[in-house]
Amino acid sequence: MIEVSMLKAVLLDTDEHANHCHDIYGSKKITEILKKTKIRNNFINLCKNCGEEILINSSNKEFIVKKIYMKNISSKLTEYNVKHVFIKGVPLSKVFYKNPSDRIYTDADILIDLTDYENFYNFLDANNFKHNFNYKYLDRIGYTRSALEVIDSEVNLDFHFRISDNFKKNECKLSKYALTQKSVLEGLPIPRNELLLTICLFKVLEDRLRSGPIYLVDSERIIKKGIDEDYLLPILSEFNLTKFYRDTVSIINNLKNGSETKKQSDFIIWLFKNEGKKPFLPSRSITLTQIMHLFDPEPYLNYVGGNLEANHYLELVKNKLKRLRRRN
């Protein structure tokens, strides 16, 4: 079971296990698995025996440049009095992994305090970031975009106003906790460890575990940095994550100790296969969003840059077909 062996090497964070895995399975098989998973850089940085035949990892230089850029963005947001925290990949890569490139991420996810939205749009304008000023749509039923704007910049910036979607309730308590219970580490504001872990687990389930085995490594790295379970457990219970957390810890500990069950091994193999896989059926949130577009197309047209002066329903069809052609 090459997947189990590779994940164990990364969790233990030792070159001994990574080299042993390579010696058993060989470069061809290792490469076949690694090129599809986010743990690839972490494994390659550990595996001294891999040699130059495995050239699928990103350089540390790329992620160091990203770190500097993120620190600059955070300084500018602070300058414009926008309360914010970095969530998911950026803080994990910067703080919780040995090498910046060990934790791959493509977008920088930044949670913004909605009470500062005017300052936020002033920040966007001052830095020449294009936007549609979609604030007025955020409370519309069915408008579940979790991001104020997605900006094409030197690094893709995804500015979120909430962590969960807004079909069930307008208030997102997890976002409120993250923005108030935070610390500044290596120049970036991030939620306290317990909340960062909660956010990671929450988003993994929301995405149907399509992130693959990286969530196990993320969880292990955060826990290793230190968590207060007296604070963590009530938070997990509030968001129905207690069992998932317990299961996650059990898999991590058993795998590191070499006592993983067959069920856990099968689950790990499935995680590798499920990574990035498109679901056969869309999620409930996506389905409801598509339905709401038919009743209220204006927020969608704002998001895609449609002509709000034209007939909204004709614009809706035109833009849906346009986006479909781009994806095919």
pLDDT for 85 beyond 90: yes
Domain assignment present for residue 246? The answer is yes
Question: How high does pLDDT run on average in the chain?
Answer: 88
Question: Does residue 46 or residue 139 have the better pLDDT?
Answer: 46
**Residue 313: its pLDDT value, please?**
92
Q: How many angstroms separate the CA atoms of 179 and 145, rounded?
A: 19
pLDDT for 148 beyond 90: no
**Residue 58: its pLDDT value, please?**
59
pLDDT for 267 beyond 70: yes
Mean pLDDT calculated for residue range 113-137: 90
**Rg (Cα) of the chain, in Å, rounded?**
21
**Residue 143: its pLDDT value, please?**
76
300's tokens: 């969608």
Both 198 and 144 in one domain: the answer is yes
Mean pLDDT calculated for residue range 120-125: 93
- Note the pLDDT tens digit of each residue in 18-27: 889 888 998 8
Domain assignment present for residue 145? The answer is yes
Q: CB within 8 A of 168, min separation 6: which ones?
A: none
Both 81 and 219 in one domain: the answer is yes
Both 179 and 130 in one domain: the answer is yes
Q: How many angstroms separate the CA atoms of 30 and 97, rounded?
A: 22
* Identity of the highest mean pLDDT range in 92-101, 243-252, 316-325: 243-252
Distances (CA, A) of 314 to 143, 207, 328: 19, 31, 21
* Residues of the chain above pLDDT 70, percent: 94
- Note the pLDDT tens digit of each residue in 219-266: 999 999 999 999 999 999 999 999 999 999 999 999 999 999 999 999
Q: What is the 3-state secondary structure (H, E, C) of 227-274?
A: CCHHHHHHHHHHCCCHHHHHHHHHHHHHHHHCCCCHHHHHHHHHHHHH
pLDDT for 168 beyond 60: no
Strand 156-160 to strand 182-185: parallel, antiparallel, or no bridges (unpaired)? unpaired
Domain assignment present for residue 222? The answer is yes
User: How many domains does the structure of the chain reveal?
Assistant: 3
**Residue 30: its pLDDT value, please?**
87
pLDDT for 144 beyond 90: no
**Residue 59: its pLDDT value, please?**
66
Both 141 and 250 in one domain: the answer is yes
Lowest mean pLDDT among 8-22, 162-176, 211-225, 252-266: 162-176
**Residue 133: its pLDDT value, please?**
84
Both 244 and 218 in one domain: the answer is yes
* Residue matched to tokens 């500062």: 116
pLDDT for 191 beyond 90: yes
Both 121 and 270 in one domain: the answer is yes
| 159: CATH | 3.30.460
Q: CB within 8 A of 220, min separation 6: which ones?
A: 11, 252
Containing structural domain, residue 180: 60-274
Both 174 and 30 in one domain: the answer is no
68's tokens: 């500097």
Lowest mean pLDDT among 30-39, 73-82, 282-291, 312-321: 282-291
287's tokens: 């389905």
Mean pLDDT calculated for residue range 304-310: 88
Q: How many angstroms separate the CA atoms of 175 and 178, rounded?
A: 5
Domain assignment present for residue 279? The answer is no
Domain assignment present for residue 96? The answer is yes
Both 217 and 323 in one domain: the answer is no
CB 302 within 8 A of CB 140: no
Both 177 and 76 in one domain: the answer is yes
**Residue 166: its pLDDT value, please?**
62
pLDDT for 39 beyond 60: yes
Domain assignment present for residue 40? The answer is yes
Both 174 and 252 in one domain: the answer is yes
Under the banding of pLDDT at 50, 70 and 90, the label for residue 45 is: confident
**Residue 27: its pLDDT value, please?**
83
Both 96 and 67 in one domain: the answer is yes
Q: How many angstroms separate the CA atoms of 3 and 30, rounded?
A: 9
b/e map 3-14, b = 16+ CB within 10 Å: bbbbbbbbbbbe
Both 198 and 71 in one domain: the answer is yes
